[in-house]
Amino acid sequence: MVLTLQHLANLTEGKILRGDPAESFSGISSLDFAKRTEISFLGNGKYHALFHETKAGAVLVSADHPCGPADTALVQVENPTLSFSKVIDFFHASKKSFVPSIHPTSFIDTSVQLDPSKVCIHAGVVILAGAIIGDGTEIFPNAFIGENSRIGNDCVIHANVSVREECVIGDRCILQPGVVIGSDGYGYQFSQGKHVKIPQLGIVEIGNDVEIGANTCIDRARFGKTLIGDGTKIDNLVQIGHNVEIGRHCIIIALTGIAGSSKLGNYVTVAAQAGIAGHLTIGDKAVLASRTGVTHDLEGGITYLGNPAQPIREELKLEALRRRLPRLFDEVKAIIKSQERPSS
């Protein structure tokens, strides 16, 4: 899989500024890691230093680019970052492991609905009775799909993922390794000195174009559904409790926990290690900074920080004042001392 400089210019609708149109390249990388046989891009002024030291064979640049190393071929394009995506697609397409096939060491119940000519089921995968696997979906080794669960079209289910029974996953979803979908919600009733398990009879329903990070867990509802809306992207090691409802196109970063029955609107951003207590509502386009702790409903469209959460400007002000506490204590001490002084 190679691309000549001329092909690169054609692919990106760019102009060769420097270099041999016949020189060929076999891959892509960032400016700092690229080798002589690889293509890179200069997408941002802050990478000029890396550009001057790059060993890349060819670099996509914009109109106002610096010269860079003399032996590096240059192709000028309007937006190097966007154009580079086309180059990525070119090389990436050749790397896909999807080959329609069902590995003989996988176990697929006879009642499972799938088209063997249109799915790729790797070794050791187990799919139980009544499940449905959509066309174009690839399931990596040792993943598990429970009874009656439905996986949409063109999904990628990575190794050692567990999707428990009755859950629904839309089209074009990606589940990174170790993801757990449909674990029991955490619900107990305290009775006669013991925590008695409350059956968790609902499911998890995930929309289209959702990605879920490695070892993230999404609990099934007590009744009804835990919902993840279309286009939402969840990072690694996130905990989503039972009956949570997350809207469309949300961003939830690593090590965040969302407790049972809370509802997030659309386009909500939750940064890393945040926590949202149960039964709360977060409005559309709210942004929670890292480590924010939410204990009451939050209006949309506002950026929050702190524990408990408040608008970020107020929290930053309080933090600034906290750092000035030593001076404040000194000032108050001085005032008291001045008062104690016998008046002359």
Q: Which of residues 10-39 bind a copy of itself (CB under 8 A)?
A: 28-30, 32-34
- Residue (128 or 169) nearer to a copy of itself, CB: 128
- Residue (6 or 50) nearer to a copy of itself, CB: 50
- Out of 26, 44, 79, 105, the only residue in the binding site for a copy of itself (CB under 8 A) is 105
Instruction: Give the angle subtended at the CA of 174 by the CAs of 169 and 178, to the nearest 5°.
Output: 95
Tokens of 263: 């509802």
Site stretch for a copy of itself (CB under 8 A), options 6-14, 57-65, 69-77, 246-254: 246-254
Side-chain-facing half-sphere of 174: CA atoms under 13 Å: 10
Q: How far is the CB of 22 from a copy of itself (least distance, A)?
A: 25
Tokens of 302: 């506002």
- Out of 117, 322, 337, 344, the only residue in the binding site for a copy of itself (CB under 8 A) is 322
Q: Does 336 bind a copy of itself (CB under 8 A)?
A: yes
- Rounded Cα distance between 204 and 296, Å, is 25
Neighbours of 17 (CB within 10 A): 14
Binding residues for a copy of itself restricted to 147-186, rule: CB under 8 A: 147, 158-162, 164-165, 174, 176-178, 180, 183-184, 186
Q: How far is the CB of 70 from a copy of itself (least distance, A)?
A: 23
Tokens of 318: 């309080």
What single DSSP character describes residue 260? T
Q: What is the 3-state secondary structure (H, E, C) of 203-242?
A: EEEECCCCEECCCCEEECCCCCEEEECCCCEECCCCEECC
Residue 306 region by backbone torsions, left for phi larger than 0, else alpha for psi between -120 and 50, else beta: left
Question: Which member of 122, 158, 242, 249 is catalytic?
Answer: 242
Binding residues for a copy of itself restricted to 262-281, rule: CB under 8 A: 272-273, 275, 277
Q: How far is the CB of 249 from a copy of itself (least distance, A)?
A: 6
Binding residues for a copy of itself restricted to 130-149, rule: CB under 8 A: 140-142, 144, 146-147
Q: Does 226 bind a copy of itself (CB under 8 A)?
A: no
- Residue (21 or 315) nearer to a copy of itself, CB: 315
> What are 57-60's contacts with CB under 8 Å, separation 24+?
57/23, 57/25, 58/5, 58/8, 58/19, 58/23, 58/25, 59/31, 60/12, 60/14, 60/84, 60/87
- Residue (7 or 86) nearer to a copy of itself, CB: 86
Q: How far is the CB of 286 from a copy of itself (least distance, A)?
A: 16
Map tokens 């001045």 to a residue: 338
Does the active-site annotation cover 242? yes
Q: State the catalytic residues.
A: 242
